[in-house]
Protein backbone atom coordinates (compact mmCIF):
# COMPACT_ATOMS: atom_id res chain seq x y z
CA UNK A 1 0.00 0.00 0.00
CA UNK A 2 2.90 2.37 0.68
CA UNK A 3 4.07 1.77 -2.89
CA UNK A 4 0.53 2.39 -4.18
CA UNK A 5 0.41 5.67 -2.22
CA UNK A 6 3.73 6.72 -3.75
CA UNK A 7 2.35 5.93 -7.22
CA UNK A 8 -0.78 7.97 -6.44
CA UNK A 9 1.45 10.95 -5.66
CA UNK A 10 3.39 10.64 -8.95
CA UNK A 11 4.50 14.07 -10.15
CA UNK A 12 2.93 15.68 -13.20
CA UNK A 13 -0.69 14.74 -12.45
CA UNK A 14 -2.86 17.86 -12.76
CA UNK A 15 -4.74 19.01 -9.64
CA UNK A 16 -8.44 18.11 -9.72
CA UNK A 17 -11.13 17.42 -10.43
CA UNK A 18 -10.14 13.76 -10.02
CA UNK A 19 -8.38 12.17 -7.05
CA UNK A 20 -4.86 10.83 -7.24
CA UNK A 21 -4.98 7.04 -7.10
CA UNK A 22 -2.31 4.34 -7.21
CA UNK A 23 -2.59 0.57 -7.69
CA UNK A 24 -0.18 -2.38 -7.36
CA UNK A 25 -1.04 -5.89 -8.59
CA UNK A 26 0.60 -8.73 -6.68
CA UNK A 27 0.82 -12.43 -7.48
CA UNK A 28 0.08 -15.14 -4.88
CA UNK A 29 3.63 -14.89 -3.54
CA UNK A 30 3.43 -11.15 -3.06
CA UNK A 31 5.57 -10.28 -6.08
CA UNK A 32 4.66 -7.20 -8.09
CA UNK A 33 2.96 -7.97 -11.41
CA UNK A 34 2.17 -4.42 -12.45
CA UNK A 35 1.85 -0.88 -11.15
CA UNK A 36 -0.62 1.77 -12.23
CA UNK A 37 -1.74 5.25 -11.41
CA UNK A 38 -4.28 7.77 -12.54
CA UNK A 39 -3.01 10.63 -14.70
CA UNK A 40 -5.94 13.04 -14.49
CA UNK A 41 -9.60 13.29 -15.50
CA UNK A 42 -10.48 11.29 -18.60
CA UNK A 43 -7.45 8.98 -18.44
CA UNK A 44 -7.72 5.35 -17.24
CA UNK A 45 -8.23 4.80 -13.54
CA UNK A 46 -5.28 3.39 -11.58
CA UNK A 47 -6.75 -0.14 -11.47
CA UNK A 48 -7.32 -0.24 -15.23
CA UNK A 49 -3.85 1.20 -15.86
CA UNK A 50 -2.32 -1.66 -13.83
CA UNK A 51 -4.62 -4.34 -15.31
CA UNK A 52 -3.69 -3.34 -18.86
CA UNK A 53 -0.03 -3.88 -18.09
CA UNK A 54 -0.60 -7.18 -16.30
CA UNK A 55 -2.76 -8.69 -19.05
CA UNK A 56 -3.55 -12.37 -18.38
CA UNK A 57 -1.14 -12.52 -15.44
CA UNK A 58 -3.75 -10.61 -13.36
CA UNK A 59 -5.75 -13.84 -12.97
CA UNK A 60 -5.79 -14.77 -9.25
CA UNK A 61 -3.88 -11.63 -8.31
CA UNK A 62 -4.32 -9.25 -5.39
CA UNK A 63 -5.01 -5.61 -6.28
CA UNK A 64 -3.75 -3.07 -3.73
CA UNK A 65 -5.47 0.28 -4.39
CA UNK A 66 -5.38 3.58 -2.51
CA UNK A 67 -9.10 4.22 -3.15
CA UNK A 68 -12.08 1.87 -3.16
CA UNK A 69 -12.54 0.82 -6.81
CA UNK A 70 -15.29 2.83 -8.51
CA UNK A 71 -18.60 1.30 -9.46
CA UNK A 72 -19.78 3.79 -12.05
CA UNK A 73 -19.41 4.71 -15.67
CA UNK A 74 -18.18 8.28 -15.67
CA UNK A 75 -15.47 9.47 -18.00
CA UNK A 76 -14.32 5.82 -17.99
CA UNK A 77 -15.93 2.48 -17.06
CA UNK A 78 -16.34 0.88 -13.60
CA UNK A 79 -13.13 -0.53 -12.10
CA UNK A 80 -15.14 -3.03 -10.03
CA UNK A 81 -16.23 -4.78 -13.27
CA UNK A 82 -12.75 -4.56 -14.79
CA UNK A 83 -11.26 -6.29 -11.71
CA UNK A 84 -13.91 -9.02 -11.77
CA UNK A 85 -13.43 -9.61 -15.50
CA UNK A 86 -9.66 -9.88 -15.02
CA UNK A 87 -10.32 -12.59 -12.41
CA UNK A 88 -8.58 -10.73 -9.58
CA UNK A 89 -8.97 -12.79 -6.39
CA UNK A 90 -8.51 -10.16 -3.70
CA UNK A 91 -8.74 -6.38 -3.44
CA UNK A 92 -7.19 -4.36 -0.61
CA UNK A 93 -7.98 -0.64 -0.58
CA UNK A 94 -7.12 2.26 1.73
CA UNK A 95 -9.85 4.89 1.50
CA UNK A 96 -13.56 4.27 1.07
CA UNK A 97 -14.77 6.27 -1.97
CA UNK A 98 -16.48 9.40 -0.55
CA UNK A 99 -17.86 10.28 -3.99
CA UNK A 100 -21.53 9.17 -3.91
CA UNK A 101 -21.61 8.97 -7.71
CA UNK A 102 -18.78 6.43 -7.90
CA UNK A 103 -19.00 4.55 -4.58
CA UNK A 104 -20.15 0.94 -4.18
CA UNK A 105 -17.24 -0.92 -5.74
CA UNK A 106 -16.46 -2.94 -2.60
CA UNK A 107 -19.99 -4.40 -2.49
CA UNK A 108 -19.99 -5.22 -6.20
CA UNK A 109 -16.65 -7.01 -5.85
CA UNK A 110 -17.84 -9.01 -2.82
CA UNK A 111 -21.02 -9.99 -4.65
CA UNK A 112 -18.85 -11.34 -7.44
CA UNK A 113 -16.89 -13.49 -4.97
CA UNK A 114 -13.80 -11.29 -4.67
CA UNK A 115 -12.21 -11.05 -1.22
CA UNK A 116 -12.26 -7.35 -0.19
CA UNK A 117 -10.52 -5.55 2.65
CA UNK A 118 -10.69 -1.77 3.22
CA UNK A 119 -9.13 0.81 5.53
CA UNK A 120 -5.43 -0.07 5.22
CA UNK A 121 -3.40 3.20 5.65
CA UNK A 122 -6.64 5.11 5.23
CA UNK A 123 -5.37 8.34 6.85
CA UNK A 124 -2.39 8.46 4.51
CA UNK A 125 -4.67 7.94 1.51
CA UNK A 126 -7.01 10.71 2.63
CA UNK A 127 -4.01 13.02 3.01
CA UNK A 128 -2.90 12.39 -0.60
CA UNK A 129 -6.24 13.83 -1.73
CA UNK A 130 -6.93 16.20 1.16
CA UNK A 131 -8.99 18.74 -0.79
CA UNK A 132 -10.80 16.20 -3.00
CA UNK A 133 -11.77 14.15 0.06
CA UNK A 134 -12.91 17.26 1.90
CA UNK A 135 -15.00 18.45 -1.05
CA UNK A 136 -16.67 15.05 -1.47
CA UNK A 137 -17.41 14.84 2.27
CA UNK A 138 -18.76 18.40 2.58
CA UNK A 139 -20.27 19.15 -0.82
CA UNK A 140 -18.17 22.30 -1.09
CA UNK A 141 -14.51 23.14 -1.85
CA UNK A 142 -11.79 23.33 0.81
CA UNK A 143 -10.93 26.98 1.52
CA UNK A 144 -7.41 28.31 2.09
CA UNK A 145 -7.46 31.94 3.18
CA UNK A 146 -4.22 33.72 2.43
CA UNK A 147 -3.14 37.16 3.53
CA UNK A 148 0.00 39.17 4.17
CA UNK A 149 0.48 41.54 7.08
CA UNK A 150 3.03 43.75 8.73
CA UNK A 151 4.35 42.95 12.19
CA UNK A 152 1.47 44.97 13.63
CA UNK A 153 -1.16 43.12 11.64
CA UNK A 154 -1.79 45.67 8.88
CA UNK A 155 -2.48 44.64 5.31
CA UNK A 156 -2.57 48.16 3.88
CA UNK A 157 -1.43 51.62 4.96
CA UNK A 158 -3.76 54.38 6.17
CA UNK A 159 -4.11 55.73 2.60
CA UNK A 160 -5.03 52.28 1.27
CA UNK A 161 -1.71 51.55 -0.43
CA UNK A 162 -0.63 47.93 -0.04
CA UNK A 163 2.13 47.29 -2.62
CA UNK A 164 4.23 45.60 -1.33
CA UNK A 165 3.73 44.36 2.19
CA UNK A 166 5.31 40.98 1.54
CA UNK A 167 8.75 40.29 0.14
CA UNK A 168 9.51 39.08 -3.38
CA UNK A 169 10.29 35.64 -1.93
CA UNK A 170 6.89 35.60 -0.22
CA UNK A 171 5.13 36.66 -3.42
CA UNK A 172 6.80 33.86 -5.38
CA UNK A 173 5.82 31.45 -2.65
CA UNK A 174 2.22 32.64 -2.97
CA UNK A 175 2.26 31.80 -6.68
CA UNK A 176 3.48 28.31 -5.83
CA UNK A 177 0.50 27.88 -3.47
CA UNK A 178 -1.94 29.36 -5.98
CA UNK A 179 -0.82 26.70 -8.46
CA UNK A 180 -1.92 23.99 -6.01
CA UNK A 181 -5.49 25.34 -5.96
CA UNK A 182 -8.11 25.16 -8.69
CA UNK A 183 -9.84 28.46 -7.92
CA UNK A 184 -8.78 31.97 -6.96
CA UNK A 185 -11.56 33.82 -5.13
CA UNK A 186 -11.86 37.56 -4.45
CA UNK A 187 -14.70 40.05 -3.96
CA UNK A 188 -15.82 42.77 -6.36
CA UNK A 189 -14.25 45.35 -4.07
CA UNK A 190 -10.76 43.91 -4.53
CA UNK A 191 -11.23 43.95 -8.31
CA UNK A 192 -12.44 47.55 -8.12
CA UNK A 193 -9.62 48.81 -5.91
CA UNK A 194 -6.58 46.65 -6.72
CA UNK A 195 -7.41 45.41 -10.25
CA UNK A 196 -5.41 42.18 -9.77
CA UNK A 197 -4.69 39.74 -12.60
CA UNK A 198 -5.17 36.69 -10.32
CA UNK A 199 -3.10 34.36 -12.46
CA UNK A 200 -0.33 32.01 -11.40
CA UNK A 201 3.05 33.16 -12.63
CA UNK A 202 6.52 31.71 -12.32
CA UNK A 203 9.80 33.43 -11.44
CA UNK A 204 9.98 34.83 -15.00
CA UNK A 205 6.53 36.41 -14.44
CA UNK A 206 5.05 34.26 -17.23
CA UNK A 207 1.64 32.62 -16.62
CA UNK A 208 1.72 28.86 -15.95
CA UNK A 209 -0.63 26.36 -17.58
CA UNK A 210 -3.21 25.25 -16.55
CA UNK A 211 -4.44 28.33 -14.70
CA UNK A 212 -6.86 28.13 -11.76
CA UNK A 213 -10.32 29.51 -12.36
CA UNK A 214 -10.69 33.16 -11.31
CA UNK A 215 -13.90 33.71 -9.32
CA UNK A 216 -15.24 37.16 -8.47
CA UNK A 217 -17.92 37.24 -5.79
CA UNK A 218 -20.42 40.04 -5.14
CA UNK A 219 -23.23 41.99 -6.71
CA UNK A 220 -21.42 45.12 -7.85
CA UNK A 221 -21.08 45.77 -11.61
CA UNK A 222 -17.51 45.91 -12.83
CA UNK A 223 -16.02 47.44 -15.99
CA UNK A 224 -14.99 44.89 -18.67
CA UNK A 225 -11.57 46.51 -18.75
CA UNK A 226 -10.59 45.04 -15.37
CA UNK A 227 -7.59 42.73 -15.72
CA UNK A 228 -9.41 39.78 -14.17
CA UNK A 229 -11.60 39.67 -17.32
CA UNK A 230 -8.66 39.34 -19.73
CA UNK A 231 -8.09 36.07 -21.57
CA UNK A 232 -5.10 34.82 -19.56
CA UNK A 233 -7.40 32.50 -17.56
CA UNK A 234 -11.10 31.68 -17.21
CA UNK A 235 -13.20 33.90 -14.94
CA UNK A 236 -16.64 33.40 -13.37
CA UNK A 237 -18.84 35.91 -11.58
CA UNK A 238 -20.62 34.65 -8.47
CA UNK A 239 -23.51 37.06 -8.01
CA UNK A 240 -24.05 36.54 -4.30
CA UNK A 241 -22.80 37.88 -0.97
CA UNK A 242 -23.32 34.56 0.77
CA UNK A 243 -20.08 32.56 1.13
CA UNK A 244 -21.80 29.17 1.26
CA UNK A 245 -23.84 29.92 -1.88
CA UNK A 246 -20.62 30.94 -3.66
CA UNK A 247 -18.82 27.77 -2.57
CA UNK A 248 -21.73 25.55 -3.64
CA UNK A 249 -21.67 27.22 -7.05
CA UNK A 250 -17.96 26.51 -7.33
CA UNK A 251 -18.48 22.90 -6.22
CA UNK A 252 -21.03 22.51 -9.03
CA UNK A 253 -18.23 23.64 -11.36
CA UNK A 254 -16.07 20.70 -10.10
CA UNK A 255 -13.94 22.98 -7.89
CA UNK A 256 -12.34 21.49 -4.79
CA UNK A 257 -9.76 23.96 -3.51
CA UNK A 258 -10.42 27.67 -3.23
CA UNK A 259 -7.61 30.14 -2.57
CA UNK A 260 -9.31 33.08 -0.86
CA UNK A 261 -7.33 36.25 -1.50
CA UNK A 262 -10.04 38.79 -0.93
CA UNK A 263 -9.99 41.83 1.30
CA UNK A 264 -11.04 42.19 4.95
CA UNK A 265 -14.80 42.16 4.30
CA UNK A 266 -14.79 38.92 2.33
CA UNK A 267 -12.35 37.31 4.78
CA UNK A 268 -14.60 38.24 7.72
CA UNK A 269 -17.69 36.90 5.95
CA UNK A 270 -16.01 33.54 5.30
CA UNK A 271 -14.58 33.35 8.80
CA UNK A 272 -17.90 34.16 10.48
CA UNK A 273 -19.65 31.55 8.34
CA UNK A 274 -17.13 28.93 9.51
CA UNK A 275 -15.96 28.50 5.91
CA UNK A 276 -12.20 28.92 6.34
CA UNK A 277 -10.43 25.55 6.51
CA UNK A 278 -6.81 26.67 6.40
CA UNK A 279 -5.00 29.98 6.86
CA UNK A 280 -1.70 30.93 5.25
CA UNK A 281 -0.21 34.22 6.35
CA UNK A 282 3.00 36.00 5.42
CA UNK A 283 4.44 38.19 8.13
CA UNK A 284 6.60 41.10 6.97
CA UNK A 285 9.14 42.82 9.29
CA UNK A 286 7.47 46.18 8.87
CA UNK A 287 5.40 48.52 11.06
CA UNK A 288 2.58 50.77 9.91
CA UNK A 289 0.96 51.76 13.20
CA UNK A 290 -2.27 52.54 11.37
CA UNK A 291 -4.08 51.18 8.34
CA UNK A 292 -6.32 48.34 7.25
CA UNK A 293 -6.55 45.02 9.06
CA UNK A 294 -6.33 41.76 7.17
CA UNK A 295 -9.76 40.83 8.39
CA UNK A 296 -12.82 42.95 9.15
CA UNK A 297 -14.95 43.01 12.29
CA UNK A 298 -15.64 39.50 13.54
CA UNK A 299 -18.01 40.70 16.24
CA UNK A 300 -15.58 39.76 19.00
CA UNK A 301 -15.83 42.22 21.90
CA UNK A 302 -13.67 40.59 24.54
CA UNK A 303 -10.59 38.40 24.81
CA UNK A 304 -12.64 35.41 25.96
CA UNK A 305 -14.36 35.51 22.59
CA UNK A 306 -11.15 35.43 20.52
CA UNK A 307 -11.02 33.06 17.57
CA UNK A 308 -8.26 30.50 18.14
CA UNK A 309 -6.16 28.76 15.53
CA UNK A 310 -3.58 25.98 15.65
CA UNK A 311 -0.22 26.49 13.95
CA UNK A 312 0.65 23.62 11.59
CA UNK A 313 3.80 25.07 10.01
CA UNK A 314 6.23 27.99 10.35
CA UNK A 315 8.71 28.64 7.55
CA UNK A 316 11.25 31.44 7.27
CA UNK A 317 11.48 32.79 3.72
CA UNK A 318 14.95 34.14 3.14
CA UNK A 319 15.46 37.20 0.91
CA UNK A 320 15.56 36.42 -2.79
CA UNK A 321 17.68 39.37 -3.78
CA UNK A 322 19.62 42.16 -2.07
CA UNK A 323 17.31 44.63 -0.36
CA UNK A 324 14.50 42.08 -0.05
CA UNK A 325 13.13 41.38 3.48
CA UNK A 326 13.01 38.10 5.34
CA UNK A 327 9.35 37.05 5.71
CA UNK A 328 7.77 34.34 7.84
CA UNK A 329 5.02 32.09 6.47
CA UNK A 330 2.66 30.70 9.09
CA UNK A 331 0.15 27.99 8.21
CA UNK A 332 -2.74 27.44 10.60
CA UNK A 333 -6.09 25.77 10.92
CA UNK A 334 -9.08 27.00 12.89
CA UNK A 335 -9.56 25.25 16.22
CA UNK A 336 -12.92 23.64 16.72
CA UNK A 337 -14.99 25.96 18.89
CA UNK A 338 -16.91 24.53 21.81
C1 LIG B 1 -10.02 8.53 -10.69
N2 LIG B 1 -8.93 7.75 -10.82
O3 LIG B 1 -7.85 5.87 -10.48
C4 LIG B 1 -9.98 6.08 -9.56
C5 LIG B 1 -11.13 6.92 -9.40
O6 LIG B 1 -15.93 9.89 -13.96
P7 LIG B 1 -14.47 9.57 -13.80
O8 LIG B 1 -14.04 8.45 -14.68
O9 LIG B 1 -13.63 10.80 -13.95
O10 LIG B 1 -14.32 9.01 -12.32
C11 LIG B 1 -13.97 9.79 -11.24
C12 LIG B 1 -14.34 9.09 -9.94
O13 LIG B 1 -13.96 7.73 -9.94
C14 LIG B 1 -13.60 9.68 -8.76
O15 LIG B 1 -14.28 10.79 -8.24
C16 LIG B 1 -13.55 8.53 -7.76
O17 LIG B 1 -14.73 8.52 -6.99
C18 LIG B 1 -13.54 7.28 -8.64
N19 LIG B 1 -12.21 6.56 -8.69
N20 LIG B 1 -11.08 8.13 -10.00
O21 LIG B 1 -10.05 9.64 -11.21
C22 LIG B 1 -8.87 6.54 -10.31
N23 LIG B 1 -9.92 4.85 -9.03
ZN1 LIG C 1 -12.41 3.48 -11.39
Catalytic residue, from 47, 68, 131, 278: name it. Answer: 47
Segment among 94-98, 118-122, 209-213, 286-290 with least mean pLDDT: 209-213
pLDDT digits (tens, 9 = 90+) for 266-316: 999 999 999 999 999 999 999 999 999 999 999 999 999 999 999 999 999
Q: What average pLDDT score do residues 209-231 get? A: 95
Say yes or no to pLDDT of 201 above 90: no
pLDDT at position 203: 75
106 marked among binding-site residues: no
315 Cα–ligand 2 center, Å: 38
- Of residues 161 and 239, the one with the higher pLDDT is 239
Q: Which residues of 91-122 are buried (b: 16+ CB within 10 A; e: fewer)?
A: bbbbbebbbeebbbbbebbeeeebebebebbe
- Residues having CB within 6 Å of any atom of ligand 1: 18-19, 21, 38, 41, 45-47, 67, 70, 74-76, 79, 97, 99, 102
Q: Report the pLDDT value the prediction gives residue 89, as an integer from 0 to 100.
A: 98
Average pLDDT, the chain: 95
Mean pLDDT of 115-144: 97
Evaluate the CA torsion angle 209, 130, 143, 253 in order and state its sign.
positive
Residue-wise pLDDT for 39-70, tens only, equals 998 999 999 999 999 999 999 999 999 999 99
Report residue 191 CA to chain centroid gap: 23
The bound ligand whose nearest atom lies closest to the alpha carbon of 21 is 1
Nearest ligand for residue 256 CA: 1
- The Cα 171–Cα 181 span in angstroms is 16
Q: Which residue has the higher pLDDT, 74 or 90?
A: 90
Mean pLDDT of 15-37: 95
162 annotated binding-site participant: yes
Q: Measured in angstroms, how far is the CA atom of residue 111 from the centroid of ligand 1?
A: 21
pLDDT(338) > 50? no
Higher-scoring residue by pLDDT: 147, 338: 147
Question: What's the whole-number mean pLDDT along residues 223-235?
Answer: 96
Q: Is 321 a catalytic residue?
A: no
Q: How far is the CA of 75 from the centre of ligand 1 (A)?
A: 8
* pLDDT bracket for residue 337 (50, 70, 90): low
Closest by CA to 192, choosing from 282, 293, 262, is 262
3-state secondary structure at position 106: helix
The residue nearest atom 12 of ligand 1, judged by CA position, is: 102
Threshold 0.90, pTM exceeds:
yes
Q: Span 179-193, mean pLDDT?
A: 94
Residue range 213-217: mean pLDDT, rounded = 98
pLDDT at residue 111 tops 50: yes
Position with higher pLDDT, 162 vs 326? 326
Q: Which of 23, 18, 10 is nearest to 42 (CA)?
A: 18
**With 90 as the cut, is the pLDDT of residue 336 above it?**
no
- What mean pLDDT is predicted for residues 317-331? 94
Q: Residue 67 Cα, ligand 1 centroid: separation in angstroms?
A: 9
Please check whether residue 269 is in contact with residue 238, taking contact to mean a CB–CB distance below 8 angstroms: no
* Interface predicted TM-score (ipTM): 0.89
For residues 44 and 74, is the Cβ–Cβ distance under 8 A?
no
Residue 225 pLDDT class (50, 70, 90 cuts): very high
Amino acid sequence: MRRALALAASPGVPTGPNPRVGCVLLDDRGRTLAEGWHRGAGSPHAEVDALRQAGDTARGATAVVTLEPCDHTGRTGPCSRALVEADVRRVVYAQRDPNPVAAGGAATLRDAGVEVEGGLLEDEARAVNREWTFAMDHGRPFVTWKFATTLDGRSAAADGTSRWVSSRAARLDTHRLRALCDTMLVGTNTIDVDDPLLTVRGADDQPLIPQPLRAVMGLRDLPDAKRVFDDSAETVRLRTRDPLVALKELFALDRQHVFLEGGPTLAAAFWKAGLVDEVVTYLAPMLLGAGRNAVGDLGIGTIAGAAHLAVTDVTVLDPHEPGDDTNVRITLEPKETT
